[in-house]
Amino acid sequence: MTSETLLTGRVLVYTGSPFEGDPAGAARLDEAVLIRDGRVVRTGTARALRSEAPQAKTEDMGDALITAGFVDAHAHYPQTAMIASWGKRLIDWLNTYTFPEEMRFADPAYAAEIAGRYLDLTLSNGTTTVASYCTIHPESVEAFFTAARSRGLRAAAGKTCMNRNAPDGLCDTAQSAYDDSKALLERWHGTGRLSYIVTPRFSPTSTPDQLSALGALWSEHPDCLMQTHLSEQPDEVDWVKSLFPEARDYLDTYEAHGLLGARGLYGHAIYLEPRERDRLREVGAALIHCPTSNTFIGSGLFNMALAKSEGQRVGLATDTGGGSSFSMLRTMAAAYEIGQLSGTALHPAQLYWLATAGSADAMHMGDRIGNIAPGMEADLIALDLASTPAIAQRVASADDLWEALFPTIMMGDDRAVKVVWINGHRAHG
């Protein structure tokens, strides 16, 4: 039986990239969106859509802003319980906090508990799609995909592969990394709304043989994404040079083993050499900006203006738990602050696009999620743009949509997320 829902309010529709031309002109506001069987039929005036679908169930969101749900292009769900752990640089942080916590995911019950907790937290913050690292344990992948499927989510994840420079309990081998990843991929990739991601953690924790094995797996399944880390901190870059003395640069440690491609997601990418920038742009790979993580761990300042001027594909991400928030609103705020420190004030239209359509494009899902357009999946949120007294008093004097939205970007949290719809059905609020 056909299910129809009409959402009324202020519907934000991107008509182009706000990084091309006038940012304020890259979107329009409509009055309503019609959803049929989990997909967007069209947007328009409330009157016209009521006439088109008189039997549709109407949900009136009043003055709320209805948008695509947030897309988080880089996260570590196993780090949920240790988010906001104090005071370490990247390598020490991994050894002190991350690796001991990830050891616990050999227990399927613990993995299931954290997967459910993580997805409930992200949903309450308006995130409707995430790309997550799991741990080396196949159980961690099973737990994440099971939890995502039960909530009807579009989600992507993969077994994190490491065979050196990590505790024995978190090391696999080149062969087991390939075998485990392949088995998980064949079980989950394309099941419902789920996608498998080939996932070497980063070059320092994989031998050349393991990187080659995962490159081979990716070449056998080129429709899959691949995710890893790249040039997050200067001491990490130096470490890679010492481990791979024959490599031209950090990116070459992936490129030489079949791990550079258009469907690659490269987290952080702060300290890139000119050759690396050129190759990433040439192949159409995605740089994933993780601003709260970059500031929390003291990594550095990603240069968004340079990346976009070069024509790089860029996504936005929380990077929990190196990132200090589950909220893409807080992530946008941090991206704005880093932009200011880098000499470029990102427009609210650009920030919001990065958290929705931009990240969806980075994950090669821009035809399905990240915007509100005919045929797209109805993963939507309604934002209260006056969710706190501080925000409300600022919005009262706003002259346009972007001036009204910006205070929620800078000061908003889960209280601003009024309703979340997954495939057209209420999942939160």
| Nearest CA among 243, 232, 235 for reference residue 205 | 243
Cα 167–chain centre separation: 28
Q: Please, which pLDDT band fits residue 96 given cuts at 50, 70 and 90?
A: confident
Cα dihedral sign for 301, 310, 329, 122?
negative
- Per DSSP, the three-state class of 33 is strand
- pLDDT score for 258: 98
Domain co-membership, 8 together with 100: no
Domain co-membership, 375 together with 285: no
Domain co-membership, 83 together with 171: yes
Domain co-membership, 387 together with 327: no
Q: Is 88 a residue whose pLDDT tops 80?
A: no
Q: How far apart are CA 288 and CA 290, in angstroms?
A: 6
- pLDDT score for 97: 87
Q: Is 86 a residue whose pLDDT tops 90?
A: no
Considering its fold, how many domains does the chain have in total?
A: 2
User: Helical H runs in 221-287?
Assistant: 234-243, 250-255, 274-283
Q: Is 198 a residue whose pLDDT tops 80?
A: yes
Model-level pTM? 0.97
Which residues are within 8 A (CB) of 422 and not within 5 positions of it... i.e. 6 or more apart?
Answer: 69, 123, 128, 151, 152, 153, 379
Domain co-membership, 45 together with 100: no
- pLDDT score for 36: 97
Q: How far apart are CA 258 and CA 263, in angstroms?
A: 12
Domain co-membership, 21 together with 92: no
Q: Is 102 a residue whose pLDDT tops 80?
A: yes
Q: How far apart are CA 181 and CA 225, in angstroms?
A: 13
The single-letter DSSP state of residue 69 is: P
Q: Is 85 a residue whose pLDDT tops 90?
A: no
Give the whole-number percent of the chain exceeding pLDDT 70: 100
| CATH number (domain holding residue 197) | 3.20.20.140
Calculate mean pLDDT across residues 348-367.
Answer: 98
- Per DSSP, the three-state class of 158 is strand
Dump pLDDT digits (tens) for 154-186.
999 999 999 999 999 999 999 999 999 999 999
Domain co-membership, 242 together with 391: no
Give the whole-number percent of the chain exceeding pLDDT 90: 94
Last residue of a domain, one of 332, 362, 392: 362
| CATH number (domain holding residue 8) | 2.30.40.10
Q: Which domain holds residue 31?
A: 4-69+370-428
Mean pLDDT of the chain: 96
Domain co-membership, 48 together with 141: no
Domain co-membership, 14 together with 140: no
- pLDDT score for 243: 98
